[in-house]
Chains A and B, each alone.
Chain A
Amino acid sequence: MTGSPEDGFEAVVVQRVGPVSARFTGVVKLSELVPERSITIRGEGKGGPAGYAKGGAKVTLEPIPGGTRLGYTVEANVGGKLAQLGSRIIDGFAKKMADEFFTRFQAAIEGPGAAEEKVADSGKSDKGWFKRLAAWLARIFRGGKP
């Protein structure tokens, strides 16, 4: 993964969606950044003949007694072979990915152990870029300079 919060990130991810497995060249852009409140993450991944995926997440933070409630809405659009073969499962897949992300995000912020059970099945090759992105986000949400 390369990039910065201002310019966006680029990453190459090998991902399997239902019957389609492909190497996605992805671009992620962050916008509508309100420190300690919310951020919009938009991404697009091109998988060559496998098609493409586009999507976004609106993430909000809300103080609650004893911590912070993280809310998010995710939408995903797919095209090409991904749509033809994987549309049936894409919403479920997007939800699964988002759940994994935020579970691990929680773990990254709160430290190991907080969500260890939930991330037990992750451990993918994308951990490196994930960690770095999570670190960026964590700093943003804490209101600090990235």
Chain B
Amino acid sequence: MPKDGGIGASTKRREDIRFLTGKGRYTADINLRGQAYACFARSQVAHGRINGIDTAAAKALPGVLAVMTGADFAAMGGNPAGWLVQSRGGETMKEPKRPVLAHGKVRHVGDAYAVVVAETLEQARDAAAAIEADITELPAIVNMAQAVADATNRVHDEIENNVCFDWGWIEDNRAAVDAAFKAAPHVTTLKLVNNRLVPNAMEPRASIGDYDSGTGDYKLYTTSQNPHLTRLLIAAFVMGIPENKLTVISPDVGGGFGSKIYHYGEEAAVLAAAKALNRPVKWVADRSESFMSDAHGRDHETTIQLATDLQGNFLALRTETLANVGAYLSNFATVTPTFLHGTLMAGPYKTPLIYVNVKAVFTNTAPVDAYRGAGRPEATYSLERVIDKMCRELKLDPVAVRRLNFIAPDQFPYTTPVGLVYDTGNYGATLARLVQIGDLKGFEARRAASARRGKLRGLGLSTWIEACGIAPSALVGALGARVGLFDVATVRVNATGNISVMVGAHSHGQGHETVFAQIVSDRLGVPASSIDIVHGDTSKIPFGMGSYGSRSLAVCGSAIVKAVDKVIAKGKKIAAHMLEVAEADIAFEDGMFSVPGSNKAKTFGEIAFSAYVPHNYPLETLEPGLEETAFYDPANFTYPAGAYACEVEVDPDTGRVEVASFACADDFGNVMNPMIVNGQVHGGVAQGIGQALLEAAVYDGNGQLLTGSYMDYAMPRADDLPMFTVDHSCNTPCTHNPLGAKGCGEAGAIGSPPAVVNAVIDALQRGGHSNVTHIDMPLTPARVWAAING
């Protein structure tokens, strides 16, 4: 039994009290004295040359305080990509400048080229509409294959064929992989599209810039998953503000899913405008702006080939992918389709030979970057779909084939041919658990029942793995990362014994305030109610790398444990002094410092009080205070894995797919709060089903975003989803972090899309439509109906 409120307890989320009673404090809720309002003028064409921007009419309108255009920011630095990726031939990727506001050219619909600041939001909007931009429309570059083939039309004039990089992983293995394919008894080939998604966080992006002309201090309130990185990017790259003169505050943030990791130009614009006007400047995106200008997700076109013997043993795998990076490189745009994608192509399988090729392509569309799962859903989808197709071609059982190819429990640590070392796992155990909880044996009876109702029922599997707990700095540095990916925690014990924990991870829906308090409570033996978690403010927190890549618990949680251990060590020194024994004689358990075998003991509260009232401390050897900071840099990624089963019913008359059931057997390592883990899996699977069946960001041939609102972009709703069966009892704890935790935030979104698509193909095949071997996501009724009716 877990301790009450400690590790392993399904403690209810403390932050929900404020969220559910309307007391959350989001950026849009913050109003500063004297604030003015910003509105951005955005390109209506996908690609165009800016001949001039006439702001005279806008400036003359009532209430207008300033109008700034790309030219006003031209001297500032560019917003850089976080990873430097090398092409196969050794050349460095192309990294065009990403300016604060578009200058010279506009490169996607929604590309901001001017900002108006006015007394009221309405005045700012009116003035933005009055800006007259003389833009010569250029041919839009939308389709990736055409972009690469086009020698004349360029998103960035200096980048030939619109290719950012042509990455081979691992290039030295290519010849051996090709040879294995030549000799293979069977080769399965699949071309597929990983559909482009709009992140659609519930809260749109928002930023308030503030400047204190007395001190020269800047303050930015912004919807960031990653306030320290935002500060670093603005300070060191874009604006050149000294880092110690800029505070970035990310208060409550209503979801991010990756889209709020990155620094966006609007943040620099409101800061610059605040300084120019000596007034706070506030901007809140409307939903249309979010659709146009948030970094989108996925958007890969892939050909994957799997070489096997006739028993289904995987012999070799190779892929060729075009990855859309959009008009500019967003901060993680170069790592997402490469090191978060290519390195995952082994999956949970012992495929000996793998080669991955990814060309990143600039297009006149919104930037594309990490979105829940980031590269790993793309890898998993390709792999699990081609395995499914191979099983059909060779008439093999998909459960048996997966078992045949799993890395065995005694093979860990396991070095994959794509550069990762899996520390631990038991893929057979999660699959066996799935067979049980998903009642796979009962499928045939359910299929017959569906058939009696005129529906085609199908069963789809996916056995997924991811690399998360991002990331070991030494490894990622060797691979081209321009930052370290440790995290930081400070545990501050106050004189009265209550505790503030300042953490570098940012919570925007994850429940950190609850779970991190559980961890500290468990370790220190103090009630969770006396522990506060402080996040999202660079002036309060030593440093941090934010939340993404299922890293908060594995990396920041480990930093918390490390800091708590330092607090305990310091407490032992204080206790030794107070109890007049040697430090080595002090034991700490359940909030009590004691000398075993004696009745000498001090409570945690007594130690804390003494630390701040050090009347008789030997100051040469014992420092007052009880506050410790730890930086934790992981030794490796963590490798959660799982097995998912989806059952669908397809209406053969309309092509409509209904998800009848969805079961997940996951291995997340040690689980801190099972209720929160269930919620993370539910949310991730819902997003994955959304991708598989409903969602697609669509640009027309002119680069116009056709899915710019919820009328045309279908989000999953409760009635699109079944009750999920979620299990995380098959645990193989992570071997290299102190919590044994692996991370669960992205799992559902990674494992679920191939399970859904495999299920639909299964339903159609069983229903006699044997010619249907693939349908690209989203599997809308129109696409399924068209596939059925050939």
A residues whose Cβ falls under 8 Å from a Cβ of B: 19, 48-49, 51-52, 77-81, 83-85, 87-88
Q: Identify which of B79-87, B555-563, B704-712, B731-739 touches chain A.
A: B704-712
Any A CB within 8 A of the CB of B109: yes
Given contacts A79-B702, A79-B704, contact A84 B291 (CB under 8 A): yes
**Chain B residues, Cβ within 8 Å of A85:** 288, 708-709, 711-712
Given contacts A51-B44, A88-B712, contact A83 B700 (CB under 8 A): yes
**Chain B residues, Cβ within 8 Å of A78:** 704
Q: Could you tell me which residues of chain B, from 515 to 556, have a CB within 8 Å of some CB in chain A?
A: none
**Chain A residues, Cβ within 8 Å of B125:** 49
What are the 8 closest A-B residue pairs judged by CB atoms, nearest first? A84-B708, A80-B44, A83-B704, A87-B706, A49-B129, A79-B44, A48-B129, A79-B704
Beta-carbon contact of A81 and B712 below 8 Å: no
Contact of B705 among A77, A84, A88 (CB under 8 A): A84
B residues whose Cβ falls under 8 Å from a Cβ of A: 44-45, 109, 125, 128-129, 288, 291-292, 700, 702, 704-709, 711-712
Chain A residue nearest to B701 (CB atoms) is: A77
Beta-carbon contact of A84 and B702 below 8 Å: no
A87 to B711, CA, bound (A): 10
Contact of A81 among B45, B128, B708, B711 (CB under 8 A): B708
Beta-carbon contact of A87 and B704 below 8 Å: yes
A78 to B288, CA, bound (A): 16
**Chain B residues, Cβ within 8 Å of A84:** 109, 288, 291-292, 704-709, 712
Smallest beta-carbon distance A93→chain B, Å: 14
Beta-carbon contact of A49 and B702 below 8 Å: no
**Chain B residues, Cβ within 8 Å of A87:** 700, 704, 706, 712
Chain B residue nearest to A84 (CB atoms) is: B708
Contact of B109 among A77, A80, A88 (CB under 8 A): A80
A88 to B712, CA, bound (A): 8
Contact of A88 among B45, B129, B291, B711 (CB under 8 A): B711
- Please, could you name 8 A-B residue pairs with CB atoms under 8 Å apart, sorted by A? A79-B45, A79-B109, A81-B288, A83-B109, A84-B109, A84-B706, A84-B709, A87-B712
A88 to B709, CA, bound (A): 11
Given contacts A79-B109, A84-B292, A88-B711, contact A49 B704 (CB under 8 A): no
A49 to B291, CA, bound (A): 16
Smallest beta-carbon distance A89→chain B, Å: 10
Smallest beta-carbon distance A51→chain B, Å: 6
Smallest beta-carbon distance A92→chain B, Å: 14
A32 to B612, CA, bound (A): 91
**Chain B residues, Cβ within 8 Å of A49:** 125, 128-129
**Chain A residues, Cβ within 8 Å of B288:** 81, 84-85
A49 to B129, CA, bound (A): 6
A87 to B291, CA, bound (A): 15
A88 to B291, CA, bound (A): 16
Smallest beta-carbon distance A25→chain B, Å: 12
**Chain B residues, Cβ within 8 Å of A77:** 702, 704
A80 to B288, CA, bound (A): 10
A87 to B708, CA, bound (A): 9
A83 to B292, CA, bound (A): 12
**Chain B residues, Cβ within 8 Å of A83:** 109, 700, 704-706, 708
Chain B residue nearest to A87 (CB atoms) is: B706
Name the residue among B44, B706, B711 with the largest chain A CB count within 10 angstroms. B44
Smallest beta-carbon distance A131→chain B, Å: 31
Smallest beta-carbon distance B587→chain A, Å: 65
A81 to B705, CA, bound (A): 9
Name the residue among A81, A84, A87 with the largest chain B CB count within 10 angstroms. A84
Chain B residue nearest to A54 (CB atoms) is: B702
A88 to B702, CA, bound (A): 15
A83 to B109, CA, bound (A): 10
Smallest beta-carbon distance B188→chain A, Å: 37
Smallest beta-carbon distance B434→chain A, Å: 40
A84 to B706, CA, bound (A): 5
Smallest beta-carbon distance A22→chain B, Å: 10
Smallest beta-carbon distance A110→chain B, Å: 38
Smallest beta-carbon distance B110→chain A, Å: 9
**Chain A residues, Cβ within 8 Å of B45:** 79
A52 to B135, CA, bound (A): 13
Chain B residue nearest to A49 (CB atoms) is: B129
**Chain A residues, Cβ within 8 Å of B712:** 84-85, 87-88
**Chain A residues, Cβ within 8 Å of B709:** 84-85
A73 to B705, CA, bound (A): 25
Chain A residue nearest to B699 (CB atoms) is: A83
Extra contacts besides A85-B288, A87-B706 (4): CB < 8 Å: A81-B288, A84-B109, A84-B706, A88-B711
A79 to B364, CA, bound (A): 14
**Chain A residues, Cβ within 8 Å of B706:** 83-84, 87-88
Smallest beta-carbon distance A12→chain B, Å: 16
**Chain A residues, Cβ within 8 Å of B128:** 49
Smallest beta-carbon distance B289→chain A, Å: 10
A52 to B707, CA, bound (A): 16
